[in-house]
Amino acid sequence: MNPVVSLRSKVGITQGQLAVQAGTSQPAIAFYESGARSPTWSTLQKLASSQGLEAVVTYLPRLTREDQRSLNYHAAVAQSLRKNSALSIKKAERLLSRMRAQHLEAKELFDRWRQWLRLPTEDLISRMLDLGVLSRDMRQVSPFAGQLRPQDRARILKRFRKEYRS
């Protein structure tokens, strides 16, 4: 995921808010997020610092095509969580209960999802969209399956295919 998008997602602010707090412009943030411009390392540190965070470099295995597609779907779920977290989490908890009963071999992952669903919304989203190996595994047994409308999934998949070819 784009580091500027990731930062905003983690702290739950708009492009404009980040721009003001970091002493830059909203169009600059939009350019970084769209990939039209690449922020320098010092810019990333400045943006993170404006939010009381520190930018760090982490090396991870490359995301597979499936990992990237799942991340795109979960980014859309994150938007819906921000709009109505109570309803989304309630649906996820119901599905999680059914999944736990049917797939005993994945108990540890389901137990972790149960813990994540109790977190504040932005913390849940941060874990859900993390690029680390644990979050990749968690997305494969997501209790948010089925929360996107078919037309939304189709739109995401169409955009994903276009971006993935680039």
Percent of the chain exceeding pLDDT 70 equals 99
Query: Is 26:16 a contact under the CB 8 Å cutoff?
Result: yes
In whole angstroms, give the CA distance from residue 75 to residue 99.
22
- pLDDT reported for residue 166: 60
Q: What is the mean pLDDT of the chain?
A: 92
Residue 60's identity, in one-letter code, is L
Query: What pTM does this model have?
Result: 0.72
**pLDDT by residue (tens digit) across 14-44?**
999 999 999 999 999 999 988 889 999 999 9
Q: Which residue has the higher pLDDT, 112 or 146?
A: 112
Helices (H), the chain: 3-11, 15-22, 26-34, 41-50, 65-83, 85-102, 107-116, 121-128, 133-140, 150-165
